[in-house]
């Protein structure tokens, strides 16, 4: 058993694992009970498992836990709560930008990374930043609107 | 984690007392205990033993002593918004704010069997049924209050969970009137419904209760369920469909965290205390298989359908005289074309999951199934346990649009829990979901028309080759029942895939026939608007082809043949929004231009009796690459009464974007053994940069019944797209998907390549 210390949502968390290559996703969901990060493909193709690592959007399904030791990890739970959503989450709520919602947390995290580096993105930049996040229900137009709303920009998407 | 363990021990005892609890191990949310399903109420099990009869008010509504109202809904919310819409319908009849109504969905022990969730009937049938139950309850409450208050019922009104005299002389709460007692009434189909001019909640876009939790990561999905003592499992599905397991080398997973093999004949799984160990073990396990496969040549899929054994023919519509097709008189032109829609997957973003706890005295299964009552029957039969002892509880999974792998994963968890005597969670991989979920079947349609010199349709014929569904099939066959050597009724499910093969337009001579093909290469199921997406693609593309032949504007051509005023209205709304200028397609343009633009439209009256949609599309087609960019989609929809217009709008958006994805990109491929498009690289779907501008108009019909919003708008997408591409390029695309290489080849052939 190896011990890893991960800094998650501002708190140092110690986890035990017998495989330090365990993807971060499984550590977050099963060891830290942070189940807002979802398993979608395990192949870094869909974005449902997106978290922030040192501010960058990372696919936690293929990121080995040991590789993020010492980094600042932020999950969807680190932004806000249903009672106190952060401004980006509040914009998703205002736009009702989720159907089944399984892909939504990953989109919020990708958008969070975008807004951190580009606080007032164009609609094209929003679309590009979310190009690796798949949605099957078809919530895309609302998601684009929500991100633009959070950035203080009006959307052309309807 | 010691803290987690001690909490588990505590919860194990409370679970033994009969509650079904979620344990969330780990340090977050100290001692977090949630009810068995996230949208439920903490003490849902207090209702165990309640009525489940579909005709009893008590099956749908309970009032507690404190006046709280709880409703029980058999059809579940798959992300569509019925979770708020049905509360609005009940709240309307009881004059109670929707946020004061608790709702339990899809629990075989608590909710009546309203049929599976599908067919756009969540609100249109399920909701309407509950609204009638609420209206019946309203009459009962008014009657009880009249006695209590010494007034006649028409001197009373309802407000905020009380019944009060209109003159303000007295009031009594729901709880005092009936709290914790039953109505003992049949649902009265004639109970008066609140007239629409007094609606307070119906027709308002109230926010969905599940969205804040979904966007903050706090929503509990089935995939997040953890039970005390639960094992994580991965099923190793055969490398060739139906293969026999010959030998398993258990030493190949030695040293992987205590993972172990479970084998029931050819059903093979690994289980472990820790999920990642189960994943690793599934990857490392060496097994030897034989046989299986036997799939036909994918490249010949449509030829094989045409040449396949036909079980029987079904006449969907027939009228008049069709001789103009076979023996056209002078001046009559004939037109024929074949349209192909390939096999496609549900493509749920989260692979299916199932959790089961099989105990000697009771069985509980948690599933995102669209048919929990069907699963209850199947599991009762599989286990040889009476139905009442099998409880299937719905929890949200990733979006499902017919029947994804959820039922299979639930069955696998059941088999493993029975074998191991512990709760088991089965999580499918991406490859499992793409490879094994039941598919939307391929469809082949041949159309013929005779067109006279004035452009009138003298005769129309549709012939459709569709795989036949099995009558009275109890359940879509589950793959691991076969692997485990357990009996089940063989057969095929497809949904009502023959509907809308006949055009919605006035014409004197028509024949529409289905050739029911005896078999299909893979397991199938209904997939959103079953069959009608492909059928409308064919019918509405062909309508455009006839209009082009007659050199008539496609909108004008349709309006001339449409008598339904609600149909005319949606078409006119789309035309107005698009600034539609009448002219025939294709447009006159430079055919050598690098980028060609065009417009198209399509129309549907879903099943000829439900929701009506018109859809216009604008596209830009790149000659060099064959890439189609959809720049704008304009749609108008009349689905009767909209309980929650914003939820309807979200369904309209979803129908358009999901089907655009299917039309542009999607095709399941297989080799002789199995599906080969098993991830998002080999089976790409629509991405954010491709999403067109959406302009949507919804028509509210307060005085009409709701007709369903979940499917209809997916059906005109393929034809609106094909018609726009034709308008832009003069090339008619008749085979889905419209991938760049196919479009490029068709453009190179300029017209001919798109044929047949």
Report whether CATH 3.10.20.30 matches the domain B230-296.
Answer: no
Q: Is B275 on the interface with A (CB under 8 A)?
A: yes
pLDDT at position B32 over 60: no
Cβ count near B55 (within 10 Å)? 14
- CB within 8 Å: A135 and B349: yes
What is the residue-averaged pLDDT of chain B?
Answer: 93
Beta bridge partners, B514, equal: B314, B464
Report whether CATH 3.30.365.10 matches the domain B308-343+440-754.
Answer: yes
Report whether CATH 3.30.365.10 matches the domain B352-427.
Answer: yes
Distance CA B637, CA B614 (A): 7
A-chain CB neighbours of B79 within 8 Å are: 98-101, 137
Can you give B548-572 as a three-state secondary structure string? HHCCCCHHHHHHCCCCCHHHHHHHH
- CB within 8 Å: A136 and B693: no
pLDDT at position B21 over 50: no
User: Which fold, B47-206?
Assistant: Aldehyde Oxidoreductase; domain 4 (3.30.365)
Query: Taking the CA atoms of chain B, what radius of gyration do you get in angstroms?
Result: 28
**pLDDT for res B31:** 28
**pLDDT for res B36:** 43
Cβ B722 vs Cβ B539: under 8 Å: no
B-chain CB neighbours of A102 within 8 Å are: 221, 348-350, 397-399
**pLDDT for res B40:** 61
Cβ B409 vs Cβ B353: under 8 Å: yes
pLDDT at position B29 over 80: no
What is the residue-averaged pLDDT of chain A?
Answer: 96
Residue among A28, A27, A32 at smallest CA distance from A2: A27
Q: What pLDDT band is residue B694 in, cutting at 50, 70 and 90?
A: very high
**Among the partner residues A31, A81, A96, nearest to B646 by beta-carbon distance:** A96
Q: Is B562 on the interface with A (CB under 8 A)?
A: no
Distance CA B510, CA B503 (A): 9
Cβ B256 vs Cβ B284: under 8 Å: yes
- CB within 8 Å: B399 and A30: no
Give the ipTM: 0.97
Q: What Å distances lie between residue B329 and B144, B332, B334, B548, CA to CA? A: 75, 6, 10, 21
Tens of pLDDT, residues B620-679: 999 999 999 999 999 999 999 999 999 999 999 999 999 999 999 999 999 999 999 999
Q: Where are the domains of chain B?
A: 2-34, 47-206, 230-296, 308-343+440-754, 352-427
pLDDT at position B30 over 60: no
- Residue A125, SS3 per DSSP: helix
Q: What pLDDT band is residue B121 in, cutting at 50, 70 and 90?
A: confident
Q: Which residue shows structure tokens 């007659």?
A: B550
Cβ B527 vs Cβ B439: under 8 Å: yes
Tens of pLDDT, residues B426-463: 999 999 999 999 999 999 999 999 999 888 999 999 99
pLDDT at position B617 over 60: yes
Q: What is the value of pTM for the model shown?
A: 0.94
Distance CA B160, CA B154 (A): 18
A-chain CB neighbours of B80 within 8 Å are: 99
Residue among B238, B523, B242, B237 at smallest CA distance from B403: B523
**What sign for the dihedral angle of Cα B578, B582, B588, B591?**
positive
DSSP letter at B579 equals T
**Among the partner residues B32, B656, B680, nearest to A41 by beta-carbon distance:** B680
Tens of pLDDT, residues A50-59: 999 999 999 9
Cβ count near B286 (within 10 Å)? 11
Tens of pLDDT, residues A59-108: 999 999 999 999 999 999 999 999 999 999 999 999 999 999 999 999 99
- Residue B683, SS3 per DSSP: coil
The length of chain B in residues reads 756
Q: Is B620 on the interface with A (CB under 8 A)?
A: no
- Which domains are assigned to chain A? 2-78 (3.10.20.30), 87-150 (1.10.150.120)
Tens of pLDDT, residues B218-241: 999 999 999 999 999 999 999 999
**pLDDT for res A156:** 53
Mean pLDDT value of segment B361-371: 96
Distance CA B418, CA A132 (A): 40
Distance CA B121, CA B140 (A): 27
Do the domains B47-206 and B352-427 sit in the same CATH topology, yes or no? yes
**pLDDT for res B124:** 84
Q: Is B405 on the interface with A (CB under 8 A)?
A: no
Distance CA B122, CA B370 (A): 11
Q: Which residue shows structure tokens 């199938």?
A: B524
Q: What pLDDT band is residue A155 in, cutting at 50, 70 and 90?
A: low
B393 token code pair:
């509880």
**pLDDT for res B119:** 77
Q: Tally A–B CB contacts below 8 A.
A: 214
First-residue to last-residue Cα distance in chain B: 65
């Amino acid at each position: 058993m190896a011990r890893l210390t991960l800094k998650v949502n501002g708190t140092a968390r110690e986890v035990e694992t017998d495989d330090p290559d365990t993807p971060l996703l499984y550590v977050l969901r099963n060891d830290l009970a942070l189940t807002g990060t979802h398993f979608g493909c395990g192949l870094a193709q869909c974005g449902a498992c997106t978290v922030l690592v040192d501010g960058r959007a990372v696919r936690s399904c293929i990121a080995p836990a040991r590789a993020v030791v010492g980094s600042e990890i932020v999950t969807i739970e680190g932004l806000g709560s249903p009672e106190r959503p952060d401004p980006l989450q509040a914009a998703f709520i205002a736009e009702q930008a989720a159907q089944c919602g399984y892909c939504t947390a990953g989109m919020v995290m990708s958008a969070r990374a975008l807004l951190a580096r580009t606080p007032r993105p164009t609609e094209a930049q929003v679309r590009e930043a979310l190009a690796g996040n798949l949605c099957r229900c078809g919530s895309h137009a609302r998601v684009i609107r929500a991100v633009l709303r959070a950035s203080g920009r009006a959307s052309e998407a309807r | 984690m010691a803290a987690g363990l001690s909490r588990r021990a505590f919860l194990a005892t409370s679970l033994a007392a009969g509650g079904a609890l979620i344990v969330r191990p780990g340090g977050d949310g100290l001692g977090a205990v949630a009810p068995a399903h996230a949208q439920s109420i903490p003490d849902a099990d207090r209702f165990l033993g309640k009525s489940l009869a579909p005709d009893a008010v008590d099956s749908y509504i309970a009032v507690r002593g404190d006046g709280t109202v709880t409703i029980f809904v058999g059809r579940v919310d798959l992300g569509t918004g019925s979770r708020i819409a049905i509360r609005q319908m009940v709240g309307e009849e009881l004059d109670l704010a929707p946020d004061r109504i608790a709702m339990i969905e899809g629990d075989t022990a608590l909710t009546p069997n309203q049929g599976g969730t599908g067919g756009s009937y969540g609100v249109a049938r399920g909701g309407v049924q509950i609204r009638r139950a609420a209206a019946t309850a309203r009459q009962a409450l008014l009657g009880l209050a009249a006695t209590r208050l010494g007034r006649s019922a028409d001197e009373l009104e309802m407000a905020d969970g009380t019944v009060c005299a209109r003159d303000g002389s007295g009031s009594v709460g729901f709880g005092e009137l009936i709290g914790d007692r039953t109505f003992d009434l049949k649902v009265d189909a004639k109970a008066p419904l609140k007239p629409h001019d007094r609606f307070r909640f119906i027709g308002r876009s109230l926010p969905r209760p599940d969205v804040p939790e979904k966007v903050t990561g706090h929503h509990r999905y089935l995939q997040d369920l953890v039970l005390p003592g639960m094992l994580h499992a991965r099923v190793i599905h055969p490398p060739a469909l139906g293969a026999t397991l010959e030998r398993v080398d258990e030493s190949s997973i030695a040293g992987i965290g205590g993972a172990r093999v479970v084998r029931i004949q050819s059903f093979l799984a690994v289980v472990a205390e820790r999920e990642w160990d189960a994943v690793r073990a599934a990857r490392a396990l060496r097994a030897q298989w034989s046989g299986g496969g036997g799939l036909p040549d994918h490249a010949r899929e449509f030829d094989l359908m045409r040449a396949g054994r036909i079980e029987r023919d079904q006449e969907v519509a027939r009228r008049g005289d069709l001789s103009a097709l076979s023996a056209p008189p002078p001046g009559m032109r004939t037109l024929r074309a074949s349209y192909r829609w390939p096999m496609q997957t549900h493509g749920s973003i989260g692979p299916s999951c199932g959790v089961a706890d099989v105990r000697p005295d009771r069985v509980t299964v948690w599933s995102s199934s669209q048919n929990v009552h069907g699963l209850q029957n199947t599991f009762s039969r599989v286990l040889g346990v009476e139905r009442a002892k099998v409880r299937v509880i719905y929890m949200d999974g990733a979006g499902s649009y017919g029947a994804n792998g959820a039922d299979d994963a639930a069955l696998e968890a059941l088999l493993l829990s029975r074998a191991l005597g512990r709760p088991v969670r089965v999580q499918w991989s991406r490859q499992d979901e793409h490879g094994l979920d039941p598919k939307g079947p391929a469809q082949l349609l041949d159309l013929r028309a005779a067109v006279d010199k004035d452009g009138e349709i003298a005769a129309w014929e549709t012939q459709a080759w569709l795989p036949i569904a099995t009558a009275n099939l109890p359940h879509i066959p589950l793959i691991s029942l076969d692997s485990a050597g357990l009996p089940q009724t063989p057969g095929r499910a497809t949904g009502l895939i023959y509907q809308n093969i006949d055009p919605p337009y006035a014409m004197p001579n028509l024949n529409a026939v289905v050739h029911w093909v005896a078999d299909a290469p893979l397991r199938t199921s209904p997939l959103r608007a079953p069959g009608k997406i492909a059928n409308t693609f064919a019918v509405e593309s062909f309508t455009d082809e006839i209009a082009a032949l007659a050199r008539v504007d496609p909108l004008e051509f349709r309006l001339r043949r449409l008598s339904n005023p609600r149909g005319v209205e949606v078409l006119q709304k789309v035309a107005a929004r698009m600034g539609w200028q009448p002219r025939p397609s294709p447009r006159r343009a430079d055919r050598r231009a690098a980028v060609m633009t065009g417009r198209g439209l399509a129309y549907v009256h879903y099943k000829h009796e439900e929701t009506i949609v018109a859809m216009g599309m604008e596209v830009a087609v790149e000659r060099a690459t064959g890439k189609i960019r959809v720049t704008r989609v304009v749609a108008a929809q009349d689905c009767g009464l909209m309980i929650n217009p914003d939820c309807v709008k979200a369904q309209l958006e979803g129908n358009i974007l999901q089907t655009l994805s299917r039309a542009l990109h999607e095709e399941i491929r297989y080799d002789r053994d199995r599906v080969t498009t098993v991830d998002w690289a080999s089976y790409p779907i629509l991405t954010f940069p491709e999403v067109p501008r959406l302009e949507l108009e919804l028509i509210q019909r307060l005085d009409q019944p709701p007709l369903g919003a979940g499917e209809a708008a997916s059906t005109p997408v393929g034809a609106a797209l094909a018609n726009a591409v034709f308008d832009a390029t003069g090339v008619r695309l008749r085979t889905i998907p419209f991938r760049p290489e196919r479009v490029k080849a068709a453009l190179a052939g300029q017209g001919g390549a798109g044929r047949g």
